[in-house]
Amino acid sequence: MWLLGVWGDGIDWLLWDRGVVAAAALVLIAFGEMMLVMGAGVSEEMAEDYVFTARAKGIPESRIRDRHMAPNAVLHAISRLVTSIPYLIAGLVIIEYSAGSGGLGTLFLFSIETGNVPIILGILAVIGVIGIAMRVVLDIVQAVIDPRLREEARP
């Protein structure tokens, strides 16, 4: 019984703020998706000519992976992450309901049930602004990572 009490206290401490559960759920969902996208991007990049050329030159596989394939593969993953952020925010409704915590998702669900249109539009506007801001940041990050995008912008 003593062990069960310690576990119970530990679980209460870990779940002290139910926001931790919601954040962990969002991170796990996004992480799994990003791993799949990154794996597909690396598989696609492995068939490119520059990888075959680097291998023919005798460059170590770790350097080919880290310096050549990873920057090109991570562009797809970053793009997917940024475009899925509004969906993750909208998915908070389910996560907050499951975790029993109140937040933006719970307010959104309650507003839909009661027909409170101004709050619904306000929450959707906030999600839209976050999505637009993240896409602007995405464009900047892609220009920093991929030199081909910087070259196209020059006259």
Tell me which residue of 77, 65, 94 sits closest to 32, measured CA to CA.
77
Supply the pTM of this predicted model: 0.63
Domain count, the chain: 1
Please write the tens of the pLDDT for every residue from 79-132: 888 888 777 777 777 777 776 666 777 788 888 899 999 998 998 898 888 889
Q: How far apart are CA 107 and CA 31, in angstroms?
A: 26
pLDDT value of residue 1:
41
Residue with the larger pLDDT of the pair 18 and 30:
30
Domain extent for 46: 2-153
Confidence band of 44 (pLDDT split at 50, 70, 90): confident
135, pLDDT greater than 80? yes
